[in-house]
Amino acid sequence: MQKLILLASIALLCNINSVLAQLNMQQLDSSIRAAQPNTNSIMFRRNAEEYRNLTDAQKADIEKQREQMRKQAEEYARKRAEYERYQAQLEAQRRAEEEAARKRAEELKPITLYENKLKIYALVNGEPITSSDMQSRINAFILTTGIPYNAKTKTMITNRVLQGAIDEKLKIQEAKKNNIIVSRKEINQAVLNFEKANGMQPGQLRQALAQGNVQMNVWTGQIESDLAWRKLISQQSRSYINVGENDIQRAFDDIRKDMKTQKFMVSEIVVNKKDAKDLRPLSEVLRQDSRFELYAMQFSQSPSAANGGHLGWVLKGRLPATLENAVLSLQEGGVTDPILYGSDYYILKLEKIFNPKTDTNKLPSKKEVRNYLENKKLEEYAIKYMKDLRNKALIEKKI
């Protein structure tokens, strides 16, 4: 936008200079003086006398030149005013961008909870989650997601981070019960992998966390929890994940049927209504911020959160009418307001619409279908396992 305004300003300045070049200021001065024959100035009286001695044709030519110069002067004034408006617009745009950048930097600053006084947020089977833990976790959330911590997102971020901390405790506790251990070497390697994936030099992550007021042990604790959980699910789900030829054939039959049916690709954020304070501003944020997937991963309470809220292709008529009507009222890329359905609020985004008459899809390979079915079963198992842990656990939220 700035480049367009700058180019327009340069073009306008060139036009102004062109108009100036066309104006003969000496002629304009003579014309003005000749137009005032009643002045007492000797010079003007002389010009008036000369004017009276001119023929009608000469006088008409002078009048024509006067009119032309008047129009040129008006054009100069118009273009000058237009140029100044463009300059003012450019300056306003620059100031607005600077202010937006300042506000965003302010919102992404590390937070301090309770002036660093120790508070208990929750107990998970007797193990505490403290305000010190939460402070580091919220700062890590801000640092890694770039989601600002402000009046619109504060409650959602706090709830999301607290639930993540609770689940982390449950994962570590369950892994220990099953004699699963994550070594320091594995944790260090995971840190190196993270640095490499994010274009960081070895040791740079520690510096970034320190600048973001995130304790390194909280970060590595999250890594340990994730690694332990993967090992646990892999160990416990072996008999559950069994994809046979009949499963693959049924999947292919469904895919072929889907390719002949109108459908739409949709993503969701689902929040239980008891946790849905200040949810409407989230829809407003998502209409400005294209990272729906990131917000879904952080805030959605649906199993689809693990996939960034993606539901994939949904056949027309499969969603409840309340939700489907809201989705189909959108343009591609549009986001709904929060919709209450049952005990949950839904925020939906319409990604694409598939029309079998005009669109085509490529049939996946057998290997791709098998991998999809195996991953789906693994995800279902992990979700059920975590749900059971939450139901069995003694969780006391203090704040």
Residue linked to tokens 């003086």? 33
223-271: pLDDT as tens digits: 999 999 999 999 998 878 888 889 889 988 888 887 778 888 999 999 8
Which of 11-20, 48-57, 102-111, 187-196 has the lowest average pLDDT? 11-20
**Claim to verify: residue 50 and residue 73 sit in the same structural domain:** yes
Highest mean pLDDT among 49-63, 71-85, 118-132, 352-366: 118-132
Same domain for 353 and 309: yes
In a shared domain, residues 359 and 260: yes
| Cα–Cα separations (whole angstroms), residue 365 to 8, 255, 258, 310 | 53, 11, 16, 21
Task: Specify whether 101 is located in the same domain as 121.
Answer: no
Q: Are residues 258 and 204 part of one domain?
A: no
pLDDT band at 47 (very low <50, low <70, confident <90, very high): low
Q: What are phi and psi of 280, to 5 degrees?
A: -60, -40
Q: Which of 76, 107, 138 is the last residue of a domain?
A: 107
Q: Write down the pLDDT at residue 41.
A: 46
Any residues with CB less than 8 A from the CB of 82 and at least 6 apart, and which? 12
In the chain, what percentage of residues exceed pLDDT 70? 87
Confidence grade of residue 162 (pLDDT, cut at 50, 70, 90): very high
Q: What are phi and psi of 55, to 5 degrees?
A: -75, 165
CA separation for the pair 272, 312 (Å, rounded): 22
Q: How confident is the model over 203-218, as pLDDT tens digits?
A: 999 999 999 999 999 9
* CATH code of the domain in which 289 resides: 3.10.50.40
DSSP E strands in the chain: the ranges are 120-124, 127-130, 263-272, 310-315, 339-341, 344-354, 395-397
Q: Which residue has the higher pLDDT, 105 or 97?
A: 97
pLDDT at 23: 45
Domain identity same for 237 and 252: no
**Band of the pLDDT at 4, cuts 50, 70, 90?**
very low
Same domain, 254 and 381: yes
Alpha carbon distance 12, 192 (integer Å): 54
User: pTM for the complete prediction?
Assistant: 0.63
Q: Which two tokens stand for residue 61?
A: 């030519």
- How far is 21 from 144, CA to CA, in rounded Å? 58
Query: Same domain, yes or no, for 88 and 147?
Result: no
Q: Residue 156: pLDDT band by 50, 70, 90 thresholds?
A: confident
Q: Are residues 237 and 158 in the same domain?
A: yes
CA distance 58 to 51: 9
- Greater pLDDT, 71 or 277: 71
Domains identified in the chain, total number:
3
Q: How far apart are CA 326 and CA 330, in angstroms?
A: 7
State whether 96 and 170 are in the same domain.
no
Among the residue ranges 134-143, 183-192, 250-259, the one predicted with the least confidence is: 250-259
Q: What is the CATH number of the domain that holds 139?
A: 1.10.4030.10
Domain extent, residue 215, equals: 114-241+393-397
pLDDT, residue 101, reads 72
Domain termination residue (choose one: 57, 86, 107): 107
Candidates 364, 373, 365; CA nearest to 246 is 373
Say if residue 256 is in the same domain as residue 236. Answer: no
Domain endpoint, select from 72, 107, 142 = 107
End-to-end CA distance of the chain: 46
Q: And the tokens for 395?
A: 């969780």
User: Mean pLDDT: which of 198-212, 263-277, 293-307 is highest?
Assistant: 198-212
Q: Which residue, 259, 387, 284, is CA-closest to 338?
A: 284
318-321 contacts, C-beta under 8 A, 24 or more apart:
319/266
Q: Find the helix or strand (DSSP H, E) in which 227 lies.
A: helix 216-236
Average pLDDT over residues 315-344: 91
Same domain, 386 and 250: yes
Residue 7 has pLDDT above 70, yes or no: no
The C-alpha angle with vertex 110 and arms to 108 and 115, in degrees rounded to 5, equals: 140
